[in-house]
Amino acid sequence: MFLYIILIFFFIYAIVCHLYNKILNFPPTLFPTLPIIGHIYLLKNPSCLHRTLTKLSKLYGPIFHLNFGNYPVLVISSPSIIEECLKQKDVIFANRPLGTTSGKIIAYNYTTLATSPYNGHWRNLRRISHEILTTNRLNAFSYVRVDEVSLLVLQLLRLREQQDKTHALNMRLLFKEVTLNTLMRMIVGKRYYEDCIVSSKDSEEAEMFRGMITESLRSASYVLVSDFVPILRMFGFEKKLHKKMIELRNNRDRFMQILINQHKTTPKTDCSSNSNESKNNVKSMIEVLMALQESEPEYYKDEIIKGLLLDLLAAGTETSTTTMEIALSFLLNHPEAMEKAHMELVNIIGNDRLVNESDLAKLPYLHAIIKETLRLLPPGPVIVHASSDETTISGHRVPAGSMVLFNMWAIHRDPMIWVEPDKFMPERFLENEGLGEGFTLLPFGYGRRVCPGENLAWRMMGLTLATIIQCFEWERMSHKMVDMSEYVRGLSLSLTNPLQAKCRPRSTMIKVISQI
């Protein structure tokens, strides 16, 4: 009898919620909405959120409404509606969701660039990020990227010589190392992987850094249901994850404080073989921020500087590493595309020197490969914003404080936009130069919240991929195709299995490689 009463209550509640949403003119809402948890029951597998939302959009349309516990959620999978949100009403949708445990603990109570609400503090952080990522500054650090990619080439050769020629190369690890070394040289003037660390003190610092990065990547999978259903906190639900977040926050804070203290006391130099940072008198990002702290110590506190640097490090690492790994995976599965990319390099660059960043603009097919990779498997398949005020979108009411999920995965694979959307075809961007413009391809977001490191990411991805294609012939580990299945950790997409591959130096490039 009691069970029947509960079922009747749930049914009446769902009907009332459904009618309430219609009366208030909310976008189409999934039925039923359950008490307390809302529509969280639909998210059985958070690692496939993008696919779940895509299936729902086929049933309920390009804009629909959900409730994650007490959070109103708007899901959008239409380029025209995204344009309405991020172009026509960008100020209203420039916010980030508040109330998450990670934002409070890891992101210094929502004071970082990625998590801060749209206010004066965020605008100041945005201005600073533009200052340290200007085109001139990126150009000044171009030698760092060239140096690190050259070291990657030498590392590939060394690994091939040390190991059996049939042994796999872990390309995810190698891409992560070159990306992190590049970013850390730009941020603090030193690298943390391989053998550039010589003193025991620096070795401990490097080990702390690598541990912090590992923990940070793992923490991206921490999705707390109690953020959406606060009543669960009363019962100690997800207490272990909460504790892990605190430990991660403390470890990251401790490492970044060491770097800040070092720059407060002594000038830093690069520990790499080519200490060009000091020779070229190019200030690292932390030096620029420390100079700002000297002029405005009451605002530029250590906490603000740590949050900004950690955001730049996390965003730059995830996007570049993931995209390069996936792009090489696609090329291994499509050797004809790999050959086209190589022939473009031969025709434009030749075999007498290595490709450099100034050459990238002359390599349209390489750019098409990266664009196609970002289309099929974007590092951020779902972009998260929040509304600061009540407004209307596509004729529907959107409450203030709504979480807004822009499902780029669905748009990137929409057959009304893309011919054979599930097929890897870089040529589509050469045959139709306007393809992907507007709001049909947004791997880095758009508007006020667009990724500030987009220019840097394009340079890193382009130079690294061009160089390893120019210098090496690549093969799969077997005749079996590379597994392209994906999963989402937090909001970042990765291949389920790290890419394993074989390579050998191209005979036409051995002389050039030997001169590195």
Binding residues for heme: 451
Selection from 295, 347, 413 nearest residue 53 by Cα: 413
For residue 371, give Cα distances in angstroms to 215, 326, 367, 428, 436. 30, 12, 6, 10, 9
CA 402 – CA 494 distance, rounded (Å): 27
- What's the CA gap between 407 and 28, in Å, rounded? 16
User: Cβ neighbours of residue 210 under 8 Å, at least 6 residues apart?
Assistant: 192, 193
- Report which secondary-structure segment, H or E, holds 406: strand 403-407
Please tell me what DSSP assigns to residue 258.
Answer: H
How far is C-alpha 23 from the geometric centre of its chain's CA atoms?
39
- Contact assessment for residue 86 and residue 93, using Cβ atoms and an 8 Å cutoff: yes
From CA 457, how far away is CA 162, in angstroms rounded?
31
Q: Which residues, 6 or more positions from 216, have their beta carbon under 8 angstroms from its beta carbon?
A: 248, 252, 314
Q: Identify any residues that bridge with 391 across adjacent strands, giving them in sequence order.
A: 398
Say which residue the tokens 């702390």 belong to: 208
Q: Within 10 Å of residue 194's Cβ, how many Cβ atoms?
A: 16
Pairing of strands 403-407, 382-386: antiparallel
Binding-site members are 451
Tokens, residue 212:
């912090």
**Rounded to an integer, what distance in angstroms lies between the CA atom of residue 45 and that of residue 59?**
19
